[in-house]
């Protein structure tokens, strides 16, 4: 089963902020401790059960809550497995500067980070003395996602929760934090309740080329004839001063515009470049420099791959099937130059056109 994580921003202050911060710092300290211990093991367990039985006790000494302790264990194991996948030395990995805590059990209701009516989350916190408290977090929930959360409660859908703290400080003599509640639910539940269109009678094919400031769409028919092409710009998202949240909000809107345009112009199947498998380390639980890919090209590749993944994630909401193609030769090749001349396309639309052709040929 696959899952999707929903993100809801929030602000908190005073006692709530203090208790969220203490829990996040204890979770981080526990993660540091387990990472340090796990590095010294000559052979590590091969399953989640093995990791939990081996390490839960020592983690629980730092953060005395079983669900959060298991969250630490699963996090460190995910870093270890990602290092194996990416051929990175696990013993050299260091944590980046995140502050968060998570419950990894899929359950209803999630005991530690509990969704309540009115789009509140009741969160279990742990102070530095080991005492537990429950605090109420009221995030911002867009209207369409509010309906989805109502369905979670009504259908008793199991979920997991995470609280990520993005920033904190002192204002007016009071402690404040800004963060996100992240809620993970099964993908099929998400598609069932969030679909924009229930059926798609289109017969055309689309190719998508993703760049750092735009997404290009080319539409062809079954005879490989170019029907249409369009560019969806998000250049303002890369301007200096545009926050990460704002940038991804803009990109998200362009993705929906792309998919809505494709649906309303008869596209049934969308071909995308096959994104490189980067593993869970791309979620930045480990420092990017530890991956051996600190250069600009790697950052651009990761950015483009993330956009491609988001297009693929949202496409089923429009009844559009997604397939991947090998992008080699779709940017610089004789075929690419010929497509530009024949159809009067710029190089990005020509790339989208070639991706569509390649997908149609090899499907």
12-27 pLDDT, tens digit per residue, is: 999 999 999 999 999 9
- Report if residue 256 sits inside a domain: yes
Which of 136, 160, 194 is the last residue before a domain boundary?
194
- Report if residue 345 sits inside a domain: yes
Q: Identify whether the C-beta of residue 262 lies closer than 8 Å to the C-beta of residue 320.
A: yes
Q: How far apart are CA 6 and CA 4, in angstroms?
A: 7
Q: Are residues 64 and 190 in the same domain?
A: yes
- Report if residue 53 sits inside a domain: yes
pLDDT tens readout for residues 185-219: 999 999 999 999 988 999 999 999 999 899 999 99
Looking at residue 243, which CATH number applies to its domain?
3.30.420.10
Q: How far apart are CA 203 and CA 164, in angstroms?
A: 43
CA dist list (Å): 200 to 187, 288, 323, 360 = 20, 41, 16, 18
**Burial of 310 (C-beta count, 10 Å sphere; 0-12/13-18/19+):** middle
Which of 154, 169, 194 is the last residue before a domain boundary?
194
Average pLDDT over the chain, rounded to whole?
Answer: 90
Q: Provide the pLDDT for residue 92.
A: 86
Q: How far apart are CA 156 and CA 175, in angstroms?
A: 35
Q: Are residues 161 and 299 in the same domain?
A: no
Q: Are residues 163 and 215 in the same domain?
A: no
Q: Are residues 154 and 180 in the same domain?
A: yes
- What is the percent of the chain with per-residue pLDDT over 70, rounded to a whole number? 92
- Report if residue 40 sits inside a domain: yes
Q: Which residue has the higher pLDDT, 87 or 102?
A: 102
Q: Are residues 223 and 142 in the same domain?
A: no
Q: Which domain holds residue 188?
A: 3-194
pLDDT tens readout for residues 139-192: 999 888 999 999 999 999 999 999 999 999 999 899 999 999 999 999 999 999
- Report if residue 282 sits inside a domain: yes
Q: Are residues 288 and 255 in the same domain?
A: yes
Span 263-267, mean pLDDT?
Answer: 97
Q: Are residues 272 and 296 in the same domain?
A: yes
Q: Are residues 168 and 223 in the same domain?
A: no
Count of domains for the chain: 2
Q: pTM for this one? A: 0.80
Give 124's pLDDT tier (boundaries 50, 70, 90): very high
Q: Which residue has the higher pLDDT, 88 or 29?
A: 29
Which of 174, 194, 214 is the last residue before a domain boundary?
194
Q: Are residues 140 and 183 in the same domain?
A: yes
Q: Are residues 107 and 10 in the same domain?
A: yes
Give 287's pLDDT tier (boundaries 50, 70, 90): low
Q: Provide the pLDDT for residue 21.
A: 98
Give 303's pLDDT tier (boundaries 50, 70, 90): confident
Q: Which residue has the higher pLDDT, 81 or 87?
A: 81
Q: Identify whether the C-beta of residue 203 lies closer than 8 Å to the C-beta of residue 222.
A: yes
Q: Are residues 11 and 142 in the same domain?
A: yes
- Report if residue 199 sits inside a domain: no
- Report if residue 121 sits inside a domain: yes
- Report if residue 41 sits inside a domain: yes
Q: Are residues 249 and 331 in the same domain?
A: yes
């Amino acid at each position: 089963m696959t899952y999707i994580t929903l993100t809801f921003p929030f602000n908190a202050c005073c006692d709530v902020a203090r208790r969220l911060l203490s829990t996040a710092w204890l979770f981080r300290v526990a993660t540091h401790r387990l990472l340090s211990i796990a590095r010294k093991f000559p052979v590590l367990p091969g399953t989640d059960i093995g990791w939990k039985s081996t390490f839960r006790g020592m983690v629980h000494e730092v953060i005395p809550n079983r669900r959060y302790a298991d969250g630490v264990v699963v996090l460190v194991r995910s870093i270890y497995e990602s290092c194996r996948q990416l051929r990175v030395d696990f013993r050299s990995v260091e944590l980046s500067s995140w502050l968060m805590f998570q419950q990894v059990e899929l359950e209803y209701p999630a005991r530690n980070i509990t969704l309540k009516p009115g789009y509140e989350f009741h969160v279990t916190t742990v102070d530095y003395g080991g005492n537990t408290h429950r605090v109420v977090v009221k995030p911002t929930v867009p209207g369409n996602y509010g309906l989805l959360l109502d369905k979670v409660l009504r259908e008793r859908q199991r979920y997991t929760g995470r609280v990520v703290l993005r920033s904190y400080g002192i204002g007016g003599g009071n402690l404040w934090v800004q963060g996100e509640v992240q809620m993970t639910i099964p993908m099929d539940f998400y598609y069932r309740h969030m679909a924009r269109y229930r059926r798609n009678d289109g017969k055309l094919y689309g190719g998508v080329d993703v760049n750092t400031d735009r997404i290009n769409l080319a539409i062809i028919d079954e005879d490989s004839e170019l029907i249409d092409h369009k560019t969806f710009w998000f250049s303002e998202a890369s301007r200096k001063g545009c926050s990460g949240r704002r940038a991804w909000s803009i990109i998200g809107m362009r993705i929906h515009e792309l998919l809505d345009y494709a649906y309303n112009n008869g596209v049934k199947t969308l071909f995308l470049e096959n994104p490189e498998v980067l593993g869970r380390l791309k979620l930045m639980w480990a420092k990017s420099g530890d991956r051996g890919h600190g250069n600009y090209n790697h950052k651009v590749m990761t950015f483009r791959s993330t956009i491609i993944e988001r297009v693929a994630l949202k496409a089923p909401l429009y009844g559009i099937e997604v397939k991947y193609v090998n992008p080699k030769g779709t940017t610089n090749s004789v075929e690419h130059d010929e497509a530009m001349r024949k159809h009067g396309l710029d190089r990005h639309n020509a790339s989208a056109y070639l991706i569509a052709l390649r997908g149609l040929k090899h499907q």
